[in-house]
Amino acid sequence: MLIRVRRDTSETAVSEVTERLRLAGLAVHRTDHDGQVRLAAVGDDTALDWNEVRRWPAAESVESVPVPFELASRAFHPADTVFSVGRCTIGSEQLVLMAGPCSIEGEEQAFTIAAAVARAGATVMRGGAYKPRTSPYSFQGLGEEGLKILRRAADAHGLAVVSEVMDPKQVEQVARYADIVQVGARNMQNLSLLREVARARKPVLLKRGMAATIEEWLMSAEHVLSNGNHQVILCERGIRTFESYTRNTLDLNAIPVVKELSHLPVIVDPSHGTGMRDKVAPMARAAIAAGADGLLVEVHHDPDHALSDGPQSLYPAQFDELVRQIRAIAGVVGRSV
């Protein structure tokens, strides 16, 4: 339930309302919008008489949230969620450009790519140290050594770091090196992992599952939000359909739909969304035009010899040209790079 508190209510009275709701067994989350406190009371609310709650002096209105993802909804939090990571402010007018290799393969590779993407205009370096691969015989990442290399390369060029975590036991380690902890498509509904990344108190990049509906995706975000971490970035990375020409079907419809339903920032991964280098730039341009808050792009200086995802990785010169194009589109839609 959503309680809008009267504007003239003191903080002491707001605290009293919060405590009464908690004593009834509910978790209470607060947001402030346009000078008004909003309280989302979630959980089993059968112990409360909501008609009585409506008569509480501090309650201006009491209503049910029309969607199951209450904390992720605009009903609870009407304004866009905005937070800073390194040199970028995610969810703001500024577009966030995250770029780098699928996997960290070594020192020279990481530093070469970090220099290239920073020079082009990226503010966050992506790179995998733990790689979920379809084949158990494919390169699985360098583990903690890969995270150390990624951190050094990013720091050398003023970049923040985003890297994927696959297991709840890895969260503490990945969060030690990464500024943003990524939950991959395969783990979107790994609830144990979602709880752990929430507790790490680092921003979470939550990729949409391969066959997930928008509601299921937002409900996964709800698990992170309900555990006290409100810095969630949603990432559309393509879904599995009957189409076989591209790796996945990049669902650009999801951008305006999610923007209407939720206050959380939305970025797009056109690399995994298409799986084809020559399709990455067109879909990246389309994503920004459709309202995305940023991009997650795979870049490699020698993709023909990359240990993973070479065919969908841009050459540095291609990424540089893409950023130039994105700047032009950003100006048209009221954004900046």
261 and 176 in one domain? Answer: yes
DSSP at 85:
E
- Model pLDDT for residues 156-179, shown as the tens digit of each residue: 999 999 999 999 999 999 999 999
- Model pLDDT for residues 186-219, shown as the tens digit of each residue: 999 999 999 999 999 899 999 999 999 999 999 9
Per the structure, the complete domain to which residue 49 belongs is given by: 2-63
**Which pLDDT score is estimated for 132?**
75
139 and 59 in one domain? Answer: no
Question: At which of 34, 63, 92 does a domain end?
Answer: 63
26 and 117 in one domain? Answer: no
What spatial distance separates the first Cα and last Cα of the chain, rounded to whole Å? 38
142 and 22 in one domain? Answer: no
Q: What is the DSSP string of 2-70?
A: EEEEPTT--HHHHHHHHHHHHHTT-EEEEEEETTEEEEEEES--TTS-HHHHHTSTTEEEEE--SSS-T
Asked whether residue 76 is assigned to any structural domain, the reply reads: no
235 and 109 in one domain? Answer: yes
For residues 237 and 182, is the Cβ–Cβ distance under 8 A?
Answer: no
Rounded average pLDDT over 176-186 = 97
At residue 141 the predicted structure's pLDDT band, cuts being 50, 70 and 90, is confident
Asked whether residue 297 is assigned to any structural domain, the reply reads: yes
Rounded average pLDDT over 22-29 = 94
CATH number of residue 23's parent domain: 3.30.70.1140
Task: State yes or no: pLDDT of 136 exceeds 90.
Answer: no
pTM of this prediction?
Answer: 0.95
Our count of domains for the chain comes to 2
Asked whether residue 337 is assigned to any structural domain, the reply reads: no
**Which pLDDT score is estimated for 140?**
81
Using alpha carbons, list the distances in angstroms from residue 100 to 40, 105, 125, 260.
38, 12, 5, 30
Asked whether residue 71 is assigned to any structural domain, the reply reads: no
Asked whether residue 120 is assigned to any structural domain, the reply reads: yes
